[in-house]
Structure 1
């Protein structure tokens, strides 16, 4: 079995999602499912975009591992929810927006180049391709700024 197919089968095995939520964000699940049905691609990590309120974090460097998550949403947030999260803080709190991001392992470099072209032409200007030392090909779709066309702005 080729290395890409073997990694894809391992990645998509039930119970292997290591995200905090343990599942793909509902807002992008159709996109991720469609990608994973292709023989060319396998999603490895994704987020539809979220707003975080982190407690106990150094204000100069936001590290999500060494802090408490006071509030998180993948939707528009309400002032009351943010205030409730702030009331849980015992020290510093950091309010952070993380835009849409999707990591995709690609079977061939040509597959990654095609996906990269689609991403760039769709406004995902901060996207890129990485080829590892052992030939693992990764494509990252990343929204780089908030603008009227941003999927999160609607």
Structure 2
């Protein structure tokens, strides 16, 4: 069942099994606010079990680009297109959020972004990355990093 992410009243719906459910919900709400303000897009997620193709799409890019396998289960995922960009998000039980930005036009921006929920430990799988900090009213301190996608997906 789809969940429209509310960034005014933050809810842990769908994320309850995460030890960082509140921080992850804030991170998800932060993304919803960004897309509403920048693109007037309503950010809607699905339980990961209902969209295994999205979970596999992100996992495939991580495997093929950087040999990364995330051990934490995915709780929710979403994919949508705005202004010629395909965005895919997965939210992991550990508090990790991964997004894939993929320009539909050849030569456009293509990258994978990682965001760590406030309070979560850095996953061993991502120890090679340096994380920058950002403050958010909804999510507290967000630590983020990214890499550029080189192949076609």
Q: Name the TM-score, length of structure 1 as normaliser.
A: 0.36
Larger Cα Rg: Structure 1 or Structure 2? 1
With structure 2 as the length reference, what TM-score do the two structures score?
0.37
Determine which structure has the larger helix proportion and give its number. Answer: 1
